Structure formats: structure tokens, C-alpha cells
Structure 1
Amino acid sequence: MAIAYLGLGSNIGDREVHLSDACGLLHQHPAIAVEAVSSLYRSAPVGVTGQAWFVNAAARLQTDLSPRSLLAVTQAVERRVGRTPTYRWGPRVVDIDLLLYGDLQLRTRYLTIPHAALHERAFVLVPLYELAPHLSLPSGNAIKTLLDALPSHEDVQPIGLLPTIYGDTI
């Protein structure tokens, strides 16, 4: 079993319900156990700013799946919740990013672990820090150190918990 961390986001429709649905579908998978989900956070869009703000969270799970298989499951969950292809950084019903997978460091055409932009995204680091304040990346960089290195994370605001809880919430 591997411990993996996911980043989740939504900025279309009932964002909290979309994130809850995604966590529920992940938890229903026979090779995935969602152990904990962070609080929900409201954050400004990145890349394309003329769109609705996101609701973000992080989840910790245990899985027997390989990283590539876990990615395939997260993409299937995105589609099931209602995500359709748009454009890079565009609005989406749900987005699930594989942030960390144990101590694995991986760079392939399809997948980079740790997530390539993890260190520069407050909307990922803030909920991840809530879930695992003593977590370090495989490189040895502590999540707290990465978070403190950001110019600001004031636009990442806690707004509550998922409407339906899978595993424990922190």
C-alpha cells in the first residue's frame, strides 16, 4: 500500500458537491481508501483569471494502484463527475491532481511526481499543509518551507468542510 496525496479543485456549478462526489467515487474504488480530506478553501484562478474562483481541497489516500493506474482512475472520476475538455487553466467541474505518491520521484510523458507545480501553488500547499504539516517531498523540502517561500497565500481562504465526509476530515 502506498500513501498518495491528491489536490482537488472545482469552479463550475456546486463546487463543494462536485468535490464531495469525486472523493466519494475515489473511496468506492476497491484499491483506494480515502483516509482524510482537508478543509475546503476558496482561491483565485491561476493562468486564466477571468473566471469564477475555485474551491480546493487536498486528500490523503492509501492505494494498491500504481501511479499510472491511479492517474487513470482520477481521470475517470473527473469525467464521471462531469468534467469535459476545455482549454488549459480553463473552468472545470472538477480537477484532480496526483501531488505525491509515497517517496516516488517520477517524470514521464503523462505524469510527474511530485506534481511539477506543487511548490508554487498556495491553493495546493495550504490544504496539503493542513492534512500533513510535517510532510516533506522526496527531495527533502518540507511542505511548510515551500509554503513559507511563497510571496503570499492570503487569497486562499478556508470556507468549511465537504458536505459528505469520506474517511476522516482534519
Structure 2
Amino acid sequence: MERIYIGMGSNLAEPAEQLRSAVQALAQLPDTQLVGVSAFYQSDSLLPGQPRYTNAVAALDSLLAPLDLLDALQAIETGQGRERLERWGPRTLDLDILLFGDRLIDEPHLKVPHYHMQARAFVLYPLAELAPADLRLADGRLLKDLLAACPFVGLERLPPA
């Protein structure tokens, strides 16, 4: 089994409830064990005029192949009402593979480590709750160095529900 980290986000249709439902769906994936879930965080959208996002990270141990997991994540998104109308539009649920063991993946529809994660506090800080302090990404970067370069600005850690 490989340790996989999944970024989760929602800014439509009761975002915190969308993430809780996603966690339940992740726990039901075949050949997969849900290991942990970070706290939920709120942040402003990267684009003006959109509702605030609620984000978290889940840790999985899985035997699924990367593209099979991607298909399963997209099925969960669709099941929770995700419509892919525009690339950066508001969404009921967004599930992204951030890290997949120590693999570098460069497929047309899947890049791991997830692109731009180094600049997104709403990804790095929840990830740091679950990952080992000395986590080294497959591309050689250290999580602690990414955190040091990405201040905890604009994030609000939500109390447990």
C-alpha cells in the first residue's frame, strides 16, 4: 500500500458538509484505508467574486493505481453534484491527488506532486497536520521548506464539527 494525500475543497452547497461526505466516500474506496483527515480550513477564493472555500487534506493507504484512484475521486465529485463548467469556477467538491507515495506522475490528466501546491497555504497547512515532519516530496522538496515559504495568511482553522 502507498500513502496518498488528497486535497479536498468546496465553496458551494454547504462546503463543510460536502467535505464530510467526501471523507465518508473516501473511506469506502476499494483496496483503500482512510488513515486520517486534517482540520477544516476556510480561505478566500483565488478568484474574486467566488464564495470562500473550505479545505482539508485526507491521508489514504491504497493499492489502487494512480489513474484508477483519479477515476474514483472524479466519481465522488460527480456524485456530490460537481459540474465541470469552467476550470476555475466554484464547485461543490474538488478532490486532488497531492502526493502518491514517492511517485512522480506526469500524465495528461494527472500531475503529482500536485502543481502549485507549494504556493497554496490551504493545501500545505492541512497536509502538515497529517504528514511526517520530514516529508520529502518525490521531486526532492521538503514539506517544511514549502511551509516556511508559504505563510499562514488568509486561512482560518475551523473548530471541529
Give the TM bin, normalised by the shorter chain: over 0.9
The SS at the match of 2:158 is: strand
Q: Which runs of 4+ in 1 moved over 2 A?
A: none
Aligned-residue identity in percent: 39
1:107 equivalent to 2:110? Answer no
Name the aligned partner's letter for residue 89 of structure 1.
W
Aligned-partner Cα distance in 2 for 1:15–1:160: 14
Q: Partner of 2:19 in structure 1?
A: 19
1:5-31 Cα shifts (integer Å, max 9, x gaps): 000000002111100111111111222
Aligned-partner Cα distance in 1 for 2:105–2:130: 23
Q: Partner of 1:137 in structure 2?
A: 137
Aligned-partner Cα distance in 1 for 2:45–2:132: 24
TM-score, L = length of structure 2: 0.95
> Gaps spanning 5+ residues in structure 2: where?
none
> Gaps spanning 5+ residues in structure 1: where?
164-170
Aligned-partner Cα distance in 2 for 1:78–1:16: 14
Residue-pair matches, total: 160
Instruction: Measure how far apart 1:133 and its partner are.
Output: 4.5
Q: Is the Cα–Cα contact under 8 Å of residues 43 and 53 in structure 2 kept in the other structure? A: yes
Name the aligned partner's letter for residue 51 of structure 1.
Q
Aligned-partner Cα distance in 1 for 2:13–2:20: 13
Q: Is the Cα–Cα contact under 8 Å of residues 2 and 64 in structure 1 kept in the other structure? A: yes
Q: Partner of 2:152 in structure 1?
A: 153
Aligned-partner Cα distance in 2 for 1:22–1:45: 20
The SS at the match of 2:86 is: coil
Instruction: Measure how far apart 1:86 and its partner are.
Output: 2.2
Q: Partner of 1:56 in structure 2?
A: 55
Name the aligned partner's letter for residue 31 of structure 1.
D
Q: Is the Cα–Cα contact under 8 Å of residues 126 and 156 in structure 1 kept in the other structure? A: no
The SS at the match of 2:148 is: helix
1:95 equivalent to 2:94? Answer yes
Structure of greater relative contact order (alpha carbons < 8 Å, 6+ residues apart): 1
Aligned-partner Cα distance in 1 for 2:159–2:9: 14
TM-score, L = length of structure 1: 0.90
Q: Partner of 2:121 in structure 1?
A: 122
RMSD, aligned α-carbons: 1.2
1:124-152 Cα shifts (integer Å, max 9, x gaps): 001001111512211232112101112x3
